[in-house]
Structure 1
Amino acid sequence: MKKTPLFAALLGLFGSVVVPIYAQTVSLQPLWESDTTLRTPESVLYYPAQKALYVACINGRPTAENKGSFIAKVGLDGKVIKLRFTENLNSTKGMGILGDKLYVTEMAQVAEISLSTGKVVNRYSIPEAKFLNDIAIDTRKNIIYVTDMGSNRVWSLTNGKAELVVEGAPLQNPNGLLFDNNQVLIGNGDGSLLAVDPATKNVKTLGKVTGGIDGITALGRQAYMVSEWGGKVWHVRADGTTELKLDTTAEKINSADIDYNSDAKVLYVPTFNHNTVKALSLK
């Protein structure tokens, strides 16, 4: 790189130059993999307060008839703490925590679970729901956001009341959700990472990968990691460029709804039909 006078002056003053986040790259290295008692794990959620992971296990097919889904509690070493923390759920998928409650989507409703007991304390119906999928939470305003993949809608849930946030194009089988930077990020079925302003309903595209986005997690400064259910994990930089960081499609190992431990810099990947959760160091 050619050193201009300004560059040289900055180098001399600070000793190094900070590379903007959009120009950085990341790498993933395997750390551990859980045992296979996590049956059809669709989503993993890191909970810093307990230094633990919650794993939503569909335990079979994601259908309305499946009443055998469960939530498992797993340690940060990959060892199962309690396999059936909550059970008898209906095709569990995305999760989020608000206060002392864990929220998880079922096929047509959102279950509210006590984090202290693991018991379901309430359920909230979503109007005309066909296939609820992921959850994201605005913890400042106590708003829960939910995708309905089957009807191309995103809903909000506030004090038990459901309201429609956005529907129709450009939404196409919306799956993954994340609340970040006062926006609702949506993993679209066409591979687009969308951002919706909840106040104005304006939708914009932040980046695009090759397939439908299942999980979204923030790295900070508007950079993200996103997963495709088929087995790919991507780095989406702040400038919208993308880089493939993990590809297990040839091994037929899925990468469902991911989460990230920013303190330890560890990415957690549920492998769905492979029946495990993998931990990867992110550098």
Structure 2
Amino acid sequence: MKTLFTSFCLCCALSITAMAQTPTLTQVWETDTTLTTPESVLFDTKNNVLYVSCINGKSVPENQESFIAKISLDGKIQQRIFVNGLNAIKGMGIIGNKLYAAGFFAIVEIDLATGRVVNKYNVPDAKMLNDITIDDKNKTLYVTDMRANSVWKLQDGKLEKILEGSPLKNPNGLFYENGKLLIGNGEGILYAYDTKTKDLSKFAEGMGNEKSGIDGIESDGKKGYFTSEWRGRIWHVSPQGKPSLLLDTIDKPMNTADFEYVSSKKLLIVPTFLRNKVVAYKVN
């Protein structure tokens, strides 16, 4: 009887611990609606500001009116920058003093000091570039081509295709950590790609469908991850690959695109795409 009671108590304790580890979100601020079609948010740790890529219209090759906005960590819009014929831009990453943004067919390199486009890397046969992530050494960039079902690497100015075809299906979100790429697939599956062994394995699933796959991916700092589903959901994924739904704004309707997580502030900062604003949530 004592053994059964002890086992029951242990199971209860483990269940309570697991529940306590699942974070919750509380909205703390939102911007006005001048950030037209915001797709991605990136935190610049060096300058302590946020960059927001704004498609500013339809996500089509003909759209040359995209811009990047700079906003503070309390949601104040500081300025629109880099209005240089940017083409339906989406994901971003920083290497040194350069900001890289995914245009429709090319990776655009922007000087942070001047706001000028200093280089463009045209991806061969690109169909729609989307998310960007940078490796731990701050030297290598990875980008998804969503419609071509592929992932590319940019290193030392040279492009290389590292993944293509099945099981990739409309891959969008990307996140690099400790030699592995997490890839958000179009049907809500999170894949892990080992950049050394080239092994591709399924890490988590159940976060979307063929109409709305995984858009953003960020580490929670505790070996788990936050992910977003474009149509309006944010998930937490445990280190074991189990997803838990944190936020559902589909019925509002309000999109949840390629967000940023500022761990020092415990802020999850979400671009709302068609709602034309950025919303910040405190992670509890």
How far apart are 1:44 and its partner, in Å?
Answer: 0.4
Q: Which residue of 2 aligns with 1:10?
A: none
Q: Which residue of 2 aligns with 1:42?
A: 39
Alignment of 1:202-221 (within 5 A): 202-208=199-205, 209-211=207-209, 212-221=213-222
User: Which residue identity does 1:281 align to in structure 2?
Assistant: K
Alignment of 1:3-82 (within 5 A): 24-82=21-79
Conserved? CA contact 2:136–2:177, under 8 Å: no
Distance in structure 2 (CA, Å) of the matches to 1:49 and 1:2? 54
Q: Which residue of 1 aligns with 2:234?
A: 233
Conserved? CA contact 2:25–2:283, under 8 Å: yes
TM-score by length of 1: 0.91
Q: Which residue of 2 aligns with 1:146?
A: 143
1:137 aligns with 2:131: no
Distance in structure 1 (CA, Å) of the matches to 2:151 and 2:114? 30
* Equivalent position SS for 1:273: helix
Conserved? CA contact 1:55–1:71, under 8 Å: yes
* Equivalent position SS for 2:46: helix
How far apart are 1:21 and its partner, in Å?
Answer: 8.0
How far apart are 1:51 and its partner, in Å?
Answer: 1.3
How far apart are 1:67 and its partner, in Å?
Answer: 0.3
Summarize the Cα distance change of 1:222–1:47 in structure 2 as closer, same or farther, 3 Å threshold: same
User: Which residue identity does 2:229 align to in structure 1?
Assistant: E
Distance in structure 2 (CA, Å) of the matches to 1:134 and 1:198? 17
How far apart are 1:71 and its partner, in Å?
Answer: 0.5
How far apart are 1:160 and its partner, in Å?
Answer: 1.4
User: Which residue identity does 2:244 align to in structure 1?
Assistant: E
Conserved? CA contact 1:71–1:86, under 8 Å: yes
How far apart are 1:116 and its partner, in Å?
Answer: 1.0
How far apart are 1:118 and its partner, in Å?
Answer: 1.1
Q: Which residue of 2 aligns with 1:14?
A: none
Task: Specify which of 113, 118, 129 is matched with residue 116 of structure 1.
Answer: 113
Distance in structure 2 (CA, Å) of the matches to 1:128 and 1:21? 46
Residues matched between the structures, number: 272
User: Which residue identity does 1:110 align to in structure 2?
Assistant: I
Q: Which residue of 1 aligns with 2:191?
A: 194
Q: Which residue of 2 aligns with 1:282?
A: 283
Distance in structure 2 (CA, Å) of the matches to 1:229 and 1:193? 14
How far apart are 1:222 and its partner, in Å?
Answer: 2.6
Distance in structure 1 (CA, Å) of the matches to 2:77 and 2:158? 35
Distance in structure 2 (CA, Å) of the matches to 1:261 and 1:48? 9
User: Which residue identity does 1:235 align to in structure 2?
Assistant: H
User: Which residue identity does 2:280 align to in structure 1?
Assistant: A
How far apart are 1:83 and its partner, in Å?
Answer: 2.0
Deviations, residues 239-265 of structure 1 (Å, cap 9, x unaligned): 111111000000010000011000010
Task: Tell which deviates more after alignment, 170-179 or 85-94.
Answer: 85-94
Distance in structure 2 (CA, Å) of the matches to 1:20 and 1:138? 33
Distance in structure 2 (CA, Å) of the matches to 1:64 and 1:28? 35
User: Which residue identity does 2:57 align to in structure 1?
Assistant: G
How far apart are 1:24 and its partner, in Å?
Answer: 1.5
Distance in structure 2 (CA, Å) of the matches to 1:128 and 1:210? 28
Summarize the Cα distance change of 1:21–1:110 in structure 2 as closer, same or farther, 3 Å threshold: farther
TM-score by length of 2: 0.91
Conserved? CA contact 1:22–1:239, under 8 Å: no
How far apart are 1:200 and its partner, in Å?
Answer: 2.1
Distance in structure 1 (CA, Å) of the matches to 2:77 and 2:228? 23
* Equivalent position SS for 2:274: helix
Alignment of 1:242-281 (within 5 A): 242-281=243-282
Overall identity of the aligned pairs, in %: 48
User: Which residue identity does 2:196 align to in structure 1?
Assistant: A
Distance in structure 1 (CA, Å) of the matches to 2:272 and 2:20? 29
Q: CA RMSD in A?
A: 2.0
Distance in structure 1 (CA, Å) of the matches to 2:115 and 2:106? 18
- Which structure 1 residue ranges, 5 or more long, are not aligned? 8-16
Conserved? CA contact 2:179–2:194, under 8 Å: yes
